[in-house]
Amino acid sequence: MKHAMLLLSLVLPAAGADPPPLAIRNARVVTVSGPVLKKATVVVKDGLIAAVGENIDVPKDAWVIEGEGLTVYPGLIDALSNWGIPEAAALAPAPAASGRTSTTPRPAPSATPDPSAPPPAQGPEDRPSNTSWQRAADLVKPTDRRLEAARSAGFTTAVTFPMTGIFAGQGAVINLAGEKAQQMVVASPVGQYLAFPAGSGFGGGGGFPGSLMGVFAYIRQLNIDADYYRQARLEYEKRPAGARRPDYDRASEGWLESPRILLPATRAMEIDRVLRLAAEVKKLAVVYGAHEGYKAADLLKKAGAPVLMSLKWPEKARDADPDQPESLRTLELRDKAPSTPAALAKAGVKFAFYTDKIDRPRDALRAVRRAIDAGLSVDDAVRALTLAAAEIYGVAGQIGSIEAGKIANLLVTSGDLFQEKTQVKFVLIDGVKFEPAPETPPAEEVAR
Amino acid sequence: MRMLAWVLACALPLAAADNSLLIRGATVHTVSGADIAGGSVLVVDGKIAEVGAKVAAPKGVRIVEAKGLHVYPGLIDSGTQMGLAEVGSVRETSDVSEIGDFNPQLRAIIAINPASEHIPVARANGITTVVSTPSGGVLSGQAALVHLDGWTWEEMEIRRSAAMVLHFPVIETGGGRRSSESQRSATFPEAKRIYDKKLADLRGFFESARRYRQAKLATPAGFRTDVKFEAMIPVLEGKLPVAIVAVRERAIREALQFAEKEKIRMILAEPREAGKLASEIKARNVPVILGPTLTAPLNEDDPYDAAYTLPAELDRAGVKFALGTFSNSFSRNLPYNAAQAVAYGLPREAGLKAITLNAAEIWGVDELYGSIDKGKWADLMVTDGDPLEVRTQVKQVFIHGREISLDNKHLRLYQQHNKRP
Amino acid sequence: MKTGLILSLALAAAAFAAPPVVIQNAKVLTVTKGTFQGSVLIQDGKIVEAGEKVMVPPGARIIDAAGQYLMPGIIDAHTHIASESTNEGSISVSSMARIEDAINPEDISIYRALAGGVTTAHVLHGSANSIGGTTVVLKMRWTRDAAGLVFEGARPGLKFALGENPKRSGSGASPSRTTPRYPATRMGIEDVIRQAFVEAKQYQQAWGDYQAKVKSGVQATPPRRDLKLEPIVEVLEGKRMTHVHAYRADEILMMLRLAEELGFKIHSLEHGLEGYKVAKEIVAHGAGVSTFSDWWAYKMEAIDAIPYNAALMMRKGVLVSLNSDDLNANLSTRLNTEAAKTMKYGGLNETEALALITINPARQLEIDKRVGSIEPGKDADLVIYDKHPLSSFARVQKVFIDGEMYFDRDRDVSGRAEREVRKKALTDRQKEREKEQKKSFPTRRPS
């Protein structure tokens, strides 16, 4: 049906005995929702956090892990991802031009048109590049080979979306492990992922839309159509006799089901643009990318829009032309982008980090460190990797902090999360322990 | 010769009877020296016989009373597609770009269409001479210096081979604002590979040309002529300059080094970033043909007047330069490019020289063209004011002393439709 | 006593607002009310007074323009700057596309047009299709955001395009297209436009019927809103202006007659290079023409373009303006000398030439109550030149929009060194970061 359903993941007991509770004793515990506990114990049972505190009893049958010298964090959440969808791993990410992060595979322009291919879209009514009904929850598999690297870097959770097309589909909050795919899903659907593919012809063979203006017109029209669709269906269902039935339109259904929409924007003027669009279509919007957010913090605050902050800080491409003139604008963006999180925090804008198809998930923390160096407090940084993401997607009652009753997604490290030498000891996902995979050296590493 | 001139003169309805005349009472702007107020120019058999404040009129010669008017040398556009292209979007009308990278043997002169509409339109604003240049590949062919008058290209010809044109290889990554999807931007390593190969091929081509010349001089039995390498011989011997098109700093630098290494005479064409290398260019005594000043800056961060101030920058560094519109339909606006340069710091005399005498010098024809001096051909224009000012009207144009019709398609259409009831 | 109180309150209030500005001792070219040596008083963004002698209020900022020329800010009636997107060319009727969505307030072309004296610019959808998107009028208020650039209250427009551009864009030969898009001929273009209006009329009818039902208390379902047809209905209702890109005389005539048949007005023909051939018909319809000064021969439909076009049409009574059609600021940096060309080709006088880039485009865009000339009550959109603007040697010195100085050549020139310094500092920091990167990630596959 049309209202969102929250699915709680249940840790189903394996055939055989119930696993015993687990306790991490006398560790430093960063709860995020409360103060840091210098020496505390966390007890995990049945996949949930049973208790956390400085003076709590460890159950007699608990498997105890001595936490001396270790730090416990909530499991890290990648706030915008396609981890868990195996097909997405195969698609190379499109070069991030200006926040346009679509992975639309571009059809190679052929000399003779393929007769079996659908004719190019003639307008929004043809619903081009639209799979808004598609749910990540239906696509995730625990066998996605990227999950291991993600867990090894300290991530327990990702908010995963399909990412192909303009209306790519609906995301799900998933845990990065599970015996079966269904067990991974924490909440679904949590939002609609929108992308603005750059260049023309992404409607397929030169069809609609062929420009930014076309995309915006499409979003507006779909919004109108979806409302109309819903009204029409309601009226028809009340009194079908003698009435003409409305067309089935799953694109509209997908739009209506989405509790929020994710809109891409890198530059301040793009942020301004998408916020105005969101206000027009009266949908709760979350801005993703936001590298120039340092210039738009007040704007975001006024609009009440949360931000998904890309950790792929803009830098000159490694193989770029060294003599290519670069504009002041570009240089400034690269210089100041890491200061955006601090600016957002100062303005009171809610934001969460996402790894943005970074090559190695463990580089994400290095990227966060740049934000800390540029003024973000460590507390806010941790929050942006954990509870903030949960709050943005409405699942803060289940994950994002270390509190009794929440899902046992934990990250245990050898020290402060953002220190270079800190290592991930293990993560718990739904109470199940995963140790980091052995480091494979990068392929073409040369001796320095 | 005279008979021919007379026949030609009769065929042109508005032309003067012959190529001798006296223009008097005008302000004569010789360009080579001071202006002469209330001066006169005597033309005999097409050549300037006398210039001065008081010139006696030989018996029977046509007199052009030019009180309150101005006489200037005819303008020279040092880079155009004149006669080589007619309608921009129609490929069939363009003969500018041939297929292939190394075509030094191609001659623009024979492809110039003397009936091009662009010719009467340009000369109606005082452009008497242009350089028509080919533009394809790396070695594009030979540019021609021509008058904007003549029944055939042969009659238009001043120098059938004015320069060899070389488009210096650049690393092209493509892309840029709103580039279409079909122009897939190449990565830098890919583009560099292509560039390296082109440069190597270019060097190799020059090397082969030198070997060819050497072999030819030794005249071995059974020597086989190679048309391409034949065309390179004047270049290698320093007799024919090479106009190297190099726009950005890196290309300009490499072009200068290339010319030095290959020991060729060089003219630098369209160097938009020449300002940064002005002293280098001056040190090597390389003359420059600048493209339009009336254009936007190259880079986003460039000052808004970057293109307007470049001529003044070069002038201050002592570089000799002339201007070209690198167009056909806009050749008539050549003087306004000079005006913009003058507005933004170029001394007026230098601005005028850039479209007259300097151009003649760079193309090696200053003995006979480029200024109003005794002994030079009478390529002149009579105006009612400063030709650099848009509002100025060109009253008369002379080429080799013959008055040229200022009639052109635009004037005809104007007059025709003005009459519509 | 009461008037004294009110007066002092008014003065107090004035003190809180921006101080008045007096531009003094200039040669003032009002365009509509003659030329004189004098001054202009600006307050609260408006021209308050213009004359040989004006009142100088206390606290006024004085700008001495001795030896200089003051004219109204230039209005570029047709441009494509300041927009991240120009064409929604995938379909033949894309009236749902809005240029306003794509405004790029950081386009350096805005600044460069400003440096060329342009204060107002009409930004249009491109000419890739028969009916394009809606257009927007902007003021060149450099550094303001997108909303801050919009010319408040300017009547919105809809772009049409005839001739070679929509045909070429739709053809199978176009690189982005795998199947050709109808139409391929001028015949087809007329058809596309007529069909769109027929559809719009039906849409208008359906909504009219619905609203009538609602009014009379009858239960009714509204028709589905169609964002493509709504702008066309607005054209029919006279609420939206029409701007038609047209070159050839035959297509100009076609459009005039089509509009007359379908019951709407053509407000301006864009470029109209053969407008001089059908000036009579254009005048009778009441359309304006916004054209170039001397472009020709770049397309087949431009082979009969003549630089006398503007003057000829003007003499026959057409309301003519000159535009830049810029994508990157080029012609818009020198519309003053473009206007001067009409004096050379066609013999327009100074005032007529200046009108082509000031009051005429203002009237075409129906913003002439606000801008286009130096008259009390109008917006203080002004340009100071160091020489007469119609001289090839004139340079823009200062540009005011709404009484605020948005461009100052002296400040621009003196700020260049500082920009270079800032750029170098940022480049150095970038190099540092690259070095750090190389240390942490010795060799990586190219991204």
Q: Is the CB of residue A423 less than 8 Å away from at least one CB of chain C?
A: no
Q: Identify whether C415 is part of a domain.
A: no
User: Tens of pLDDT along B5-33?
Assistant: 555 544 443 334 589 999 999 999 999 99
Q: Identify whether C427 is part of a domain.
A: no
For B301, nearest residue in chain A (alpha carbons):
A327
To the nearest whole Å, the CA of A248 is away from the closest chain C CA by: 15
* Range B172-189 average pLDDT: 59
pLDDT value of position B5 = 53
User: Tens of pLDDT along C397-413?
Assistant: 999 999 999 999 999 99
Residues A329, B300: C-beta atoms closer than 8 Å: yes
Residue A104 scores a pLDDT above 60: no
DSSP C202: H
Residues A199, B173: C-beta atoms closer than 8 Å: no
Residues A106, B182: C-beta atoms closer than 8 Å: no
Is-contact C201 C236, C-beta < 8 A? yes
C321 sits in which H/E element: strand C319-322
User: Tens of pLDDT along A351-377?
Assistant: 999 999 888 888 999 999 999 999 999
Residues A319, B301: C-beta atoms closer than 8 Å: no
Residues C179, A217: C-beta atoms closer than 8 Å: no
Whichever domain contains C380, its CATH number is 2.30.40.10
Q: Are residues C24 and C119 in the same domain?
A: no
Q: Identify whether A419 is part of a domain.
A: no
- Cα-based distances in Å from B318 to B289, B311, B346: 14, 11, 12
To the nearest whole Å, the CA of C20 is away from the closest chain A CA by: 31
Closest CA to C332 of C116, C70, C149: C116
pLDDT value of position B414 = 97
Is-contact B279 B317, C-beta < 8 A? yes
DSSP C240: S
For A110, nearest residue in chain B (alpha carbons):
B182
| Backbone angle region of B28, left / alpha / beta, with phi > 0 → left and psi within -120 to 50 → alpha | beta
Residues C89, A210: C-beta atoms closer than 8 Å: yes
Q: Which amino acid is at C174?
A: S
Q: Which amino acid is at C290?
A: S
Query: Which residues constitute the domain of residue C188?
Result: 74-371
Q: Are residues C284 and C323 in the same domain?
A: yes
Helix (H, G, I), strand (E, B) or coil at C392: coil
Q: Is the CB of residue B250 less than 8 Å away from at least one CB of chain A?
A: yes
Which residue among C133, C429, C445 places its CB closest to the CB of A444? C445
pLDDT value of position C366 = 97
Q: Which amino acid is at A297?
A: A
To the nearest whole Å, the CA of C107 is away from the closest chain A CA by: 11
As a three-state string, the secondary structure of A25-54 is EEEEEECCCCCEEEEEEEEEECCEEEEEEC
Is-contact C127 C83, C-beta < 8 A? no
pLDDT value of position C443 = 52
- Interchain CB contacts (distance < 8 Å): A and C: 163
Which residue among C303, C312, C328 places its CB closest to the CB of B296? C328
DSSP A130: B
Which strands, in side-by-side order, build the sheet including A185-187? A76-81, A155-160, A172-175, A185-187
Chain A positions touching B300 (Cβ under 8 A) are 325, 327-329
Q: Identify whether C90 is part of a domain.
A: yes
Chain A positions touching C441 (Cβ under 8 A) are 442
- Interchain CB contacts (distance < 8 Å): A and B: 32
Is-contact C394 C29, C-beta < 8 A? no
Helix (H, G, I), strand (E, B) or coil at C361: helix
Is-contact B158 B140, C-beta < 8 A? no
Residue A94 scores a pLDDT above 50: no
Q: Are residues C395 and C333 in the same domain?
A: no
- Domains of chain A: total: 1
- Cα-based distances in Å from C21 to B181, C41, C43, C56, C57: 50, 6, 7, 8, 9
User: Tens of pLDDT along C227-257?
Assistant: 999 999 999 999 999 999 999 999 999 999 9
Which residue among A122, A319, A445 places its CB closest to the CB of C91? A122
Chain A positions touching B277 (Cβ under 8 A) are none
- Domains of chain C: total: 2
Phi, psi of A388 (to 5 degrees): -60, -45
Residues in chain C: 447
Residue A188 scores a pLDDT above 70: yes
Q: Are residues C280 and C402 in the same domain?
A: no
In the block, which residue shows the tokens 């291919």?
A117
Q: Which amino acid is at C167?
A: K
- Of all residues in chain A, the percent with pLDDT exceeding 70 is 86
In whole angstroms, give the CA distance from residue B293 to residue B305. 9
Q: Identify whether C345 is part of a domain.
A: yes
* Range A294-306 average pLDDT: 97
To the nearest whole Å, the CA of A384 is away from the closest chain C CA by: 24
Q: Which amino acid is at C418?
A: E
Residue B274 scores a pLDDT above 70: yes
Measured over the CA atoms of residue C142, residue C147, residue C153 and residue C157, the dihedral's sign is positive
Round the CA-based radius of gyration of chain B to a whole number and report it: 23
Query: Which residues constitute the domain of residue A292?
Result: 76-107+119-318+337-400
Closest CA to A433 of A40, A38, A63, A26: A63
Q: Are residues C349 and C379 in the same domain?
A: no
Residues A217, C98: C-beta atoms closer than 8 Å: yes
Residue B378 scores a pLDDT above 60: yes
Q: Which amino acid is at C264?
A: F
In whole angstroms, give the CA distance from residue C33 to residue C22. 19
Chain B positions touching C315 (Cβ under 8 A) are 418
Q: Are residues C38 and C101 in the same domain?
A: no
Interface of B with A in 63-122 (CB under 8 A): none
Tokens linked to C369: 């109550």
For A223, nearest residue in chain C (alpha carbons):
C225
Q: Are residues C29 and C145 in the same domain?
A: no
Which residues neighbour B50 within 8 Å (Cβ) at sequence distance 6 or greater? B40, B41, B42, B374
Q: Where are the alpha helices (DSSP H) in A91-184?
A: 146-152, 181-184
Q: Identify whether C246 is part of a domain.
A: yes
Beta-sheet strands, E only, within A46-148: 48-53, 63-66, 71-74, 76-81
For C99, nearest residue in chain A (alpha carbons):
A213
To the nearest whole Å, the CA of B395 is away from the closest chain A CA by: 46
In whole angstroms, give the CA distance from residue A152 to residue A145. 12
To the nearest whole Å, the CA of C399 is away from the closest chain B CA by: 15
* Range C39-53 average pLDDT: 97
Chain C positions touching B301 (Cβ under 8 A) are 419, 423
Q: Give the confidence band of A19 by pLDDT, cuts at 50, 70, 90.
A: confident
Q: Is the CB of residue A267 less than 8 Å away from at least one CB of chain C?
A: yes
For C414, nearest residue in chain B (alpha carbons):
B303
pLDDT value of position A89 = 78
Q: Identify whether C5 is part of a domain.
A: no
Q: Identify whether C340 is part of a domain.
A: yes
Residue B360 scores a pLDDT above 50: yes
User: Tens of pLDDT along C156-213?
Assistant: 999 999 999 999 887 766 666 667 889 999 999 999 999 999 999 999 999 999 999 9
User: Tens of pLDDT along C292-332?
Assistant: 999 999 999 999 999 999 999 999 999 999 999 999 999 99
As a three-state string, the secondary structure of chain B is CHHHHHHHHHHCCCCCCCCCEEEEEEEECCCCCCCEEEEEEEEECCEEEEEECCCCCCCCCEEEECCCCEEEECEEEEEECCCCECCCCCHHHECCCCCCCECCCCEHHHHCCCCCCHHHHHHCCCEEEEEECCCCCCEEEEEEEEECCCCCHHHHEEEEEEEEEEECCCCCCCCCCCCCCCCCCCCHHHHHHHHHHHHHHHHHHHHHHHHHHHHHHHCCCCCCCCHHHHHHHHHHCCCCCEEEECCCHHHHHHHHHHHHHHCCCEEEECCCCHHHHHHHHHHCCCCEEECCCCCCCCCCCCCCCHHHHHHHHHHHCCCCEEECCCECCCHHHHHHHHHHHHHCCCCHHHHHHCCCHHHHHHCCCCCCCCCCCCCCECCEEEECCCCCCCCCCEEEEEECCEEECCCCHHHHHHHHHHCCC
Closest CA to A173 of A251, A79, A242, A32: A79
Chain C positions touching B342 (Cβ under 8 A) are 393
pLDDT value of position B229 = 97
For C342, nearest residue in chain B (alpha carbons):
B391
Closest CA to C92 of B23, A206, A15, A140: A206
Q: Identify whether A176 is part of a domain.
A: yes
Q: How far apart are the first and last CA of chain C?
A: 78
In whole angstroms, give the CA distance from residue A140 to residue A87. 9
Is-contact C446 A318, C-beta < 8 A? yes
In whole angstroms, give the CA distance from residue A124 to residue A218. 5
Distance of CA C114 to the CA centre of its chain: 12
pLDDT value of position A183 = 95
Q: Give the confidence band of A245 by pLDDT, cuts at 50, 70, 90.
A: confident
pLDDT value of position A95 = 40
DSSP A91: S
Tokens linked to B114: 């003397």
Residues B296, C280: C-beta atoms closer than 8 Å: no
User: Tens of pLDDT along C2-25?
Assistant: 666 666 665 655 555 689 999 999
Q: Are residues C327 and C403 in the same domain?
A: no
The mean-pLDDT minimum among A12-16, A337-341, B233-237, C107-111 falls in A12-16
Residue A2 scores a pLDDT above 70: no
pLDDT value of position A20 = 84
To the nearest whole Å, the CA of A226 is away from the closest chain C CA by: 10
Distance of CA B101 to the CA centre of its chain: 23
Residues A448, C228: C-beta atoms closer than 8 Å: no
Q: What is the model's pTM? A: 0.92
User: Tens of pLDDT along A199-218?
Assistant: 543 434 578 999 999 999 99
- Of all residues in chain C, the percent with pLDDT exceeding 90 is 88
In whole angstroms, give the CA distance from residue B327 to residue B337. 13
Q: Give the confidence band of A346 by pLDDT, cuts at 50, 70, 90.
A: very high
* Range B379-398 average pLDDT: 98
Is-contact A378 A18, C-beta < 8 A? no
Q: Identify whether C12 is part of a domain.
A: no
Tokens linked to C383: 């340009």
Residues C106, A269: C-beta atoms closer than 8 Å: yes
pLDDT value of position B177 = 42
Residues A321, B173: C-beta atoms closer than 8 Å: yes
Q: Identify whether A20 is part of a domain.
A: no
Phi, psi of B286 (to 5 degrees): -90, 125
Whichever domain contains A289, its CATH number is 3.20.20.140
Tokens linked to A95: 């070069």
pLDDT value of position C348 = 98
The mean-pLDDT minimum among A92-101, A116-125, A297-306 falls in A92-101
In whole angstroms, give the CA distance from residue A353 to residue A306. 11
Q: Are residues C352 and C258 in the same domain?
A: yes
Q: Identify whether A30 is part of a domain.
A: no
In whole angstroms, give the CA distance from residue C78 to residue C76. 6
User: Tens of pLDDT along A383-422?
Assistant: 999 999 999 999 999 999 999 999 999 999 999 999 999 9
In whole angstroms, give the CA distance from residue C437 to residue C429. 12
User: Tens of pLDDT along A413-447?
Assistant: 999 999 999 999 999 999 999 999 887 665 544 44
Residues B294, C395: C-beta atoms closer than 8 Å: no
Q: Is the CB of residue B189 less than 8 Å away from at least one CB of chain A?
A: yes
Interface of A with C in 187-206 (CB under 8 A): 200-201, 203, 205-206
pLDDT value of position B209 = 97
Whichever domain contains C90, its CATH number is 3.20.20.140
Q: Is the CB of residue B409 less than 8 Å away from at least one CB of chain A?
A: no
In whole angstroms, give the CA distance from residue A394 to residue A352. 13
Residue A118 scores a pLDDT above 90: no
Higher pLDDT, A109 or C142: C142
Chain B positions touching A204 (Cβ under 8 A) are none
Residue A92 scores a pLDDT above 70: no
Helix (H, G, I), strand (E, B) or coil at C246: strand
Q: Are residues C24 and C149 in the same domain?
A: no
Interface of A with C in 344-363 (CB under 8 A): 359
- Of all residues in chain A, the percent with pLDDT exceeding 90 is 76
Q: Which chains have 3 or more CB–CB distances shorter than 8 Å to chain A?
A: B, C
User: Tens of pLDDT along B30-78?
Assistant: 999 999 999 999 999 999 999 999 899 898 999 999 999 999 999 999 9
Q: Are residues C404 and C366 in the same domain?
A: no
Q: Are residues C247 and C392 in the same domain?
A: no
Interface of B with C in 172-191 (CB under 8 A): 177-178, 180-183, 187, 189
